[in-house]
Copies of this chain bind each other. A is one copy, B any other.
């Protein structure tokens, strides 16, 4: 049996136990930004002064309407965007969480 330097096995600090639901939510939030298309969509939404209609997002990325709808659903469920319905249209705006995440992920300095 080889001895490990400084007995690392016995000096592991236990992290403060986060609830499983928090871990899962964190992963879901990250996963929402884990696709280049969704990063681009979020970037587009972030660039607007006003909430952006879903119909203005389709046709920009060479993907079908159903695919874009799927991506918008994931972004919404992760709460990186907020969605408001108005008649036939759905308008999306970036959330505070989305703004923060996008800034950090796109920052070349990190």
Contact = CB atoms under 8 A, between A and B. Distances in A.
A104 B100 contact: yes
Copies per complex? Answer: 2
Contacts of A62: none
Contact count band on A:
35 or more
A30 B11 CA distance: 30
Contacts of A50: 6, 11
Contacts of A48: 12-13
Interface of A: 2, 4-6, 8-9, 11-16, 18, 20, 22-24, 26-36, 38-40, 43-44, 46-50, 52-53, 55-56, 79, 86-89, 95-97, 100-102, 104-106, 108, 110
